[in-house]
Amino acid sequence: MTEKEKGELARFIKAALAEDVGDGDHTSLSTIPADKKGIAQLIIKESGTVAGIEEALAVLHEVDDELATEVYLSDGQLVHVGDLVMSVTGRIHSILLAERLLLNIMQRMSGIATATRRIVDTLAGTGTRVLDTRKTTPLLRFLEKKAVRIGGGVNHRFGLYDMILIKDNHVDYAGGIRAAIEQANRYRQTLNKPIDIEIEVRNLTEVSQVLEVGEVERVMLDNFRPEQLREAVALINGRFVTEASGGITGENVREYAGAGVDYISIGALTHSVKSLDMSLKAKIVSCDS
């Protein structure tokens, strides 16, 4: 994790804890002595790919840097029901205060990593890789895209600033494929950083128009059927990186990969994924009387 990412994570954790705690965890304050200590275990309740361990440790450290942790697994590992991710020892108030944020992060990231790994496994041997999109939870993009990487996927652009992606609305507003590409190239010459251009096409006619103009690095083939996609890839013939998007699911992704595209982007990896079930449970240590 870079220093920038660490700073972003720290700001997020502070804001999320403030949202949850308010003027105090009155349930814990009213039922458990403030200085009482205990142990909790993070337990997997559903098979999948675990992610977010580094972030969970950051939550615990922010809440109480005297909490002691023992970690048994690593991000990206396959997990099954009953597996222990970590144990936490220290003030019970601190453990309970961290519990919900820690779980929210890990369940969400693990769900995304699990869904991504499933697609990656389905694509094995095809040469096609899976991309995420900008269809992410506001302000959680950095965590959700990290989870995609943990699951074996590839990040598309992070935001509007790191790629010129000319979509259908841009093409229509600009006055067509040629006008959009030419204007985008004039613009990128004014920037003081390298930046790729990708253009979305809706049919084979637009593919031909892009081939006539050139001056892009990637072509997004949107809502093409597999047979149309195969024809488009043949027309492009390696001149540009190819990406397929629209209507692609885990059930049909291998069929689309069979058309020979370099990438397939799937928004569902982040916008409608199911969180992986896990829980942070108190470990009760029995004492002889």
Closest CA to 56 of 105, 14, 97, 113: 105
Collect all residues with Cβ–Cβ distance below 8 Å to 111 and sequence separation of at least 6: 48, 147, 273, 274, 275, 276
Q: Nearest 5°: phi and psi at 222?
A: -100, 125
Catalytic residue among 144, 222, 243, 262: 222
Closest CA to 91 of 138, 25, 184: 25
The neighbouring-strand residues paired with 267 are none
Query: Which CATH number is correct for 125-271, 3.40.50.150, 3.20.20.70, 3.90.226.10, 1.10.3720.10?
Result: 3.20.20.70
CATH topology of domain 3-119+274-283: Aldehyde Oxidoreductase; domain 3 (3.90.1170)
In the residue annotation, 11 being an active-site residue is answered as no
Catalytic residue among 37, 45, 100, 230: 100
Catalytic residue among 36, 167, 281, 283: 167
In the residue annotation, 274 being an active-site residue is answered as no
Q: In which residue are the tokens 């999109």 written? A: 133
Q: What are the pLDDT tens digits along the chain (289 aa)?
A: 788 888 999 999 999 999 999 999 999 999 999 999 999 999 999 999 999 999 999 999 999 999 999 999 999 999 999 999 999 999 999 999 999 999 999 999 999 999 999 999 999 999 999 999 999 999 999 999 999 999 999 999 999 999 999 999 999 999 999 999 999 999 999 999 999 999 999 999 999 999 999 999 999 999 999 999 999 999 999 999 999 999 999 999 999 999 999 999 999 999 999 999 999 999 876 544 3
Catalytic residue among 55, 132, 198, 200: 200
In the residue annotation, 141 being an active-site residue is answered as no
In the residue annotation, 212 being an active-site residue is answered as no
In the residue annotation, 200 being an active-site residue is answered as yes
Q: What is the layout of strands, in order, in the sheet containing 68-71? A: 68-71, 84-91, 37-44, 278-283
Q: Say what the pLDDT of residue 284 is.
A: 79
Q: Say what the pLDDT of residue 286 is.
A: 55
Q: Say what the pLDDT of residue 288 is.
A: 47
Q: Domain residue spans in the chain?
A: 3-119+274-283, 125-271
Q: Nearest 5°: phi and psi at 212?
A: -70, -40
**pLDDT tens across 117-149, in order?**
999 999 999 999 999 999 999 999 999 999 999
Q: How far apart, in whole angstroms, are the C-alpha atoms of residue 18 and residue 3?
A: 23
Catalytic residue among 135, 149, 157, 188: 135
Q: Is the dihedral of CA 183, 184, 186, 187 positive or negative?
A: positive
Closest CA to 132 of 164, 103, 159: 159
